Amino acid sequence: MITEELVNKVLDDLHYKSDSSGIPQDFESLVFFCKSLWDEIRKDNIIREKLSELEHIQWEHWSKSLGVLLSDILEDLRQNNINDAQHKIVEKLNSWEKDWIPYSELSEKIKDYDRIWADKVLEKLKN
């Protein structure tokens, strides 16, 4: 999205002459301005797509692990093992609930799981 902040950043980076409205005074400057603005938008979009791809990978990882649990529960229900199914649900909810706290209050072990994904974000941003 083109914002005033982005336009001003490009203008500052270019250091070209403009009138008081910020509009380039000549065609060459206008073309250069538009190209620079497009480059900034493109960079933002590339980063956005890299992060979106990583977010999908993270969701896929999570949903597959949840899918295994749900499949086990479904099998228990098919076999009328209601107590086993309930136990698995309660066990998973309890394990999640203890970590529904601010990041700063998590144990280092749990923070390490989040750091794995943070490291993946950093790696995506480098490439």
pLDDT per residue, tens digit, the chain (127 aa), is 566 676 666 666 655 555 556 555 666 676 777 777 777 778 878 888 888 889 999 999 999 999 999 999 999 999 999 999 999 999 999 999 999 999 999 999 999 999 999 999 888 888 7
- Rounded Cα distance between 122 and 3, Å, is 25
Intra-chain end-to-end CA distance of the chain, in Å: 22
Residue 26, classed as helix, strand or coil, is coil
- pTM (global) more than 0.85: no
pLDDT at 97: 93
- Rounded Cα distance between 73 and 94, Å, is 16
pLDDT at 79: 96
